[in-house]
Every structure is written in structure tokens, then in C-alpha cells.
Amino acid sequence: MKKVIVPIGPYHSLFEEPEYFALYCDGERVVDIEWMAGYNHRGIEKLSESKHWDQVTFLIERICGICSTSHPIAYCNAVEDLAKIEIPERAKYIRSIVGELERLHSHLLWVGLAGHFLGYNTVFMWAWKYREPILDIMEMVTGNRNHYAMMKIGGVRRDIENEDIDIIKKILDELKGKLEMLTGAVLDDPVLAARLKGVGVLTKQDIKDYGAVGPVARASGVDIDVRRDNPHAAYNLVEWKVITCQDGDVFSKAVVRLLECFESIKIIEQSLVRLKKIKGDIAIEVRYIPSGEGIGRYEAPRGECYHYVRSDGTSRPVRHKIRAPSYVNIPTFKASCIGETIADVTIILAGIDPCYCCTERAITVYDADTRKKLFDGKDLMKLSQEKTRKIKKQLGFKEK
């Protein structure tokens, strides 16, 4: 059988980020898919080991621009787990509010992009228009539209004033009506339903095999959510529910994300009411991080975000391991894309809301027995250049 390879990337107009996919096709059908990463790798885990505990929050915020408060919350959870710190109640509510505002803007962003990929630019413009008021709230509360710098070991950095709470409430009330309209328009649209229903189906077993997390797992009927399963911040203090769907196709993923927006608004509204009554500090002072290990988890908009830190009692982490949700969600393409047509693969690739800058890894070659480092990128390049020089010499070219 003859196979045709359709390359997507690394710089493709479909992607925001540099990324390479090879689709092996037989006619219109995709028979295999390959993914290559590493274009965005910045070496954050290594950089983190050279920074002070407090500085790390600013660095890991810049892992990803969309989940830029999920990583700091997971990291703070990890360090607080290590040092056995309980944060003040006021800080808990503020963490939840900022986290849920981020989820709102991230899900709206996905709905817009999904509409754009399907050729429904109206959805794109609508969703991004309704996303702007959320960014306005963020700018008012944290001082920046993205990269909020709100999280800190032992609490939060900035307080939410009582005067701001009324303005936030007003903006959210206006947003709710618009969101209902958008949700109705997207879910009732016959063309979108025809394009999305039954496309890129992931069964419950697929989710378990690949270990997928977040809205991708919940759309296939796997009921997992770190906010409920591993309570932190104020998630066990307010009323909300986990949204699940049973079908596992791209349409279910859209349903889960759109309905989650309403749950987020519910959490924010309850937190704001409580925040008005609670007095007290927003952070406790942490002077010393003892030696030990800590694990922190947070339900980022894309799924479970996991951080591990190890300390030897100095002012820097010895090891900081990060696992972002897209890292486990991307391999599900093997199950969802194969057998579909090329035209559908686009939306399946976008369906898990992939974030490649969270996912990037680099390769280093180690000796299996001695654990000695053999090669990394620079060494391999040096090796190649040396060979060129050697061949030049053999062929009689002069060294410059």
C-alpha cells in the first residue's frame, strides 16, 4: 500500500506555536500520525534550580501564557506541602477567584479558535469579544492582562478590595447573559453539530490507556477533577459540580468546556460574597523552606497540572519537575485521528486544546549502566562539525 505523508508545521498557519505533525495518509484517510516536539523548549526546569523559591513563581508563570496561574498554584501547593504550611482563608478564596477567571478566559479562547478552524469566524469574533471583559477584570485585580503574578508561597501577593468586588460582580452578570447566548448558538447550530458529532471519538478505555486528563477525560465520561478529588484553595468551601459527557467526540469536549464556564462563574460569585465578610491577612510569612519533597496538583483549564519539588534546606529547589496536562493529552491523537479524513483531523488536533509550550522536552543521551551523560544537542552538533572538518582535510581543502 502506498502512503502519502502530509506534513503540518513547524511553522504552519494552523498553529500558534512551532510544532510538527506528519500525517500518513491513504487517500483521504489518515492511517498513522507522528508528532515531533522541541521547537519551544526553553529549559525551565533547569533555570528553576538557579532561582530563589520566591523567584520561581515568576519563572513558571512563563511556561504557558494561557495557564499562567495554574502552574504557580500547583507549585505553591507543592512547596506548601513540603513545608507544611496552611494558607490564610482570605488567600484561599483569592486563589480560587483568579484560577477560575483564568479558566473562563481559556475556555472562551478555545471556543473561538475551534470556530475559526471550522471556518466559523463569527464564533471566533464573538468568543474573543466576550473574553475581553474577563481580561479587564484581571487587569483591575492583578495589574496585568496576562501573567498575573498573584501567587506566592504562603498566600497571594495582592488583595481584592471591597470596591472592586462590586465592579467584578457587575461585569460577570453582564457576561452570563452573553455566555448563555453563545452556548445556545454554538450547541444548537446544525452545521457545527454535523461537523463535530461522532468525530475523533475517544472511549473510556482510550482515556485510561493514554492517561488523559481534564476536559478530554471528562468528555469521555471519566469523572476526574483535581479541584474536587484533591481539595485545595477554596474549592471544598463552595458549591459547584463537575461536568461530564459520555460521547467522547469533539462536540462533547465543546459541551464540557462551555458548561464549565458557568460553574466557574458560580465559584467566583460565591467566593466574592464570602471574601467581603472575611477579614485578615492575605499571606503568611515564610522564612525558611526545610529539606524534603513536596507534590502539588491543580486542575488547569486543560487538565491536571503536576509539580514536584525537592529541597535540601537551601534557598533554591534542588529539583523541580513539571508535568503539564497537554503532555498526556497529545498522545491520544493516536487513538482519535487514525481512520478520520484529513479535513476532520484539524479540529481533532485542536479539540484537546493542546498547549505545546507546556509540553516541550529536550533529548539527552545517557549511558544506561553508568548514568553518565553521553551527548546533548551541542555535543552532537560538535560531533557533526568535526566530521565535516575531517572530510575536508581528506579531500584536500585547507583549514581557514
Comparison of 105 and 253: residue with beta carbon closer to another protein: 105
Peptide bond into 231 cis (omega under 30): no
Confirm or reject binding of residue 40 to another protein (CB under 8 A). yes
Decide whether 61 or 80 has the Cβ nearer to another protein: 61
* 267 closest CA partner among 98, 78, 399: 98
- If one asks whether residue 397 binds another protein (CB under 8 A), the answer comes out as no
Rounded distance between C-alpha atoms, residue 214 and residue 223, angstroms:
9
Residues 6+ apart with CB under 8 A from 96: 233, 234, 235, 238, 267, 268, 271
Residue from the set 4, 6, 42, 49 that interacts with another protein by CB under 8 A: 42
Is 132 an interacting residue with respect to another protein (CB under 8 A)? yes
Binding test (CB under 8 A) with another protein, winner from 29, 147, 157, 323: 147
* Omega before residue 133 within 30° of 0, cis: no
Taking the alpha carbons at both ends of the chain, their separation in whole angstroms is 50
Applying CB under 8 A, among 3, 145, 276, 319 the residue interacting with another protein is 145
Interface with another protein includes 185 (CB under 8 A)? no
Q: Which is nearer to another protein, 62 or 323 (CB)?
A: 62
Structure letter (DSSP) for residue 159: P
Which residues, including other chains, have CB under 8 Å from residue 255's CB and lie 6 or more apart? 187, 219, 243, 245
Q: Per CB under 8 A, does 157 bind another protein?
A: no
Interface positions, 240-259, toward another protein (CB under 8 A):
none
Q: Smaller CB distance to another protein: residue 81 or 353?
A: 353
Stretch that binds another protein, among 64-72, 160-168, 223-231, 326-334 (CB under 8 A): 64-72
Phi, psi (deg, nearest 5) at residue 36: -125, 135
Q: Which amino acid is at 160?
A: I
The residue range among 142-150, 255-263, 301-309, 324-332 that interacts with another protein, by the rule CB under 8 A, is 142-150
Among 24, 128, 262, 375, binds another protein (CB under 8 A): 128
Stretches 5-13, 88-96, 229-237, 317-325: which one binds another protein (CB under 8 A)? 5-13
**What's the rounded Cα separation, in Å, for the pair 117 and 99?**
27
In contact, 60 and 44? CB cutoff 8 Å: yes
Q: Is 267 exposed, middle or buried (0-12, 13-18, 19+ CB in 10 A)?
A: buried
Distance (Å, whole) CA 244 – CA 241: 10
What is the Cα–Cα distance from 174 to 165, expressed in whole angstroms? 14
By CB under 8 A, is residue 346 in contact with another protein?
Answer: no
Pick out residues in 87-116 that bind another protein (CB under 8 A): 109, 112
Does residue 41 belong to the site contacting another protein (CB under 8 A)? yes
Contacts of residue 145, Cβ cutoff 8 Å, sequence gap at least 6 = 135, 138, 139
- Number of helical H runs and strand E runs in the chain: 16, 10
The H or E element that residue 152 is part of is strand 151-152
Instruction: Compute the half-sphere exposure of residue 87: CA atoms within 13 Å on the CB side of its CA.
Output: 26
Q: Which is nearer to another protein, 59 or 192 (CB)?
A: 59
Binding pattern for the stretch 7-36 against another protein, x by CB under 8 A and - elsewhere: ---xx-x--xxx------------------
Task: Give, as ranges, the residues between 354 and 383 that touch another protein (CB under 8 A).
Answer: 355, 357, 362, 377-378
Among 1, 2, 43, 368, binds another protein (CB under 8 A): 43
User: Is the Cβ of residue 40 or residue 203 nearer to another protein in the bound state?
Assistant: 40
Q: Which amino acid is located at 337 in the chain? A: C
Contact between 146 and another protein per CB under 8 A: yes
Is 319 among the residues that bind another protein (CB under 8 A)? no
Total site size for another protein, rule CB under 8 A:
39
Shorter beta-carbon distance to another protein: residue 112 or 214: 112
Q: Is 254 exposed, middle or buried (0-12, 13-18, 19+ CB in 10 A)?
A: buried
User: CA-CA distance, 244 to 255, in Å (whole number)?
Assistant: 9
Q: Which one among 27, 50, 389, 390 touches another protein, defined by CB under 8 A? A: 50
Q: Which stretch binds another protein (CB under 8 A): 60-68, 274-282, 314-322, 387-395?
A: 60-68
Per CB under 8 A, residues contacting another protein are 10-11, 13, 16-18, 38-44, 46-47, 50, 58-59, 62-66, 68, 109, 112, 124-125, 128-129, 132, 145-147, 355, 357, 362, 377-378
